[in-house]
Amino acid sequence: MTGRLLELFCISLQRDVKALLVACDKAITFFESLEIKYVFSLQIFLFQKALACLQLKRYDEGKEHIVRCIDMYTVKSGNWFWHTHAYVLLCFHSGDYQQAQSIFEEVSAAEGFGELATQHAKESWKIVEAYLYYLNTTYRTEIQTQRNFRVTKFINEVPEFSKDKRVTNIPILIVQILLLLHAAKKNPSKTG
């Protein structure tokens, strides 16, 4: 497995996403051909393949791979939360907002959700919830939010810029701006 991971690492450095897909396919085929199933190894390469599909805008294919990966879990561990987060991203990009909502509801109801290991993991799911709320209130989608989402609490609780959170700074700013614009459009007298 180490050799195949090194191969992925080298290909990732070259930023060749199509070659990454080929390498993942080879690894998945190899691990599936073994008599003993190495579930963890399969999950790694299925997850990488799903992320590559996300980059190539092959969302439906990516969803197939991430579902296979998630279905291998027997316990909802930290990795399960990250893999389901990738699934939600694929659903957002493919326009499958109802599925994204269903996944969010499953995750937020899962044992261990309140005790996610890192602050980054918690923030990632708060961002998902904010986007779902925005989609529902702005476009009147058929997404039914079951939790009470408070815009002001989200805007005040999500921390300021941080160098270690460069990946989430932009999505946080975008959803904050969208929510504030929506609130201003809804209540023009309060924006003075």
How is residue 80 written in tokens? 């399960």
Query: Does this model's pTM top 0.85?
Result: no
Q: What is the mean pLDDT of residues 170-192?
A: 73
How is residue 49 written in tokens? 């393949």
Q: What is the pLDDT, as a whole number, of residue 192? A: 47
Give dist(CA 21, CA 49) in Å, integer.
Answer: 6
- Average pLDDT of the chain? 83
pLDDT surpassing 80 at residue 10: yes
pLDDT surpassing 80 at residue 117: no
pLDDT surpassing 90 at residue 48: yes
Give dist(CA 19, CA 17) in Å, integer.
Answer: 5
Give dist(CA 163, CA 169) in Å, integer.
Answer: 9
Q: What is the pLDDT, as a whole number, of residue 141? A: 61
DSSP string of 5-54?
Answer: HHHHHHHHHHT-HHHHHHHHHHHHHHHHHSSS--HHHHHHHHHHHHHHHH
pLDDT surpassing 60 at residue 162: no
Give dist(CA 43, CA 31) in Å, integer.
Answer: 10
pLDDT tens for residues 62-91?
A: 999 999 999 998 777 778 888 999 999 999
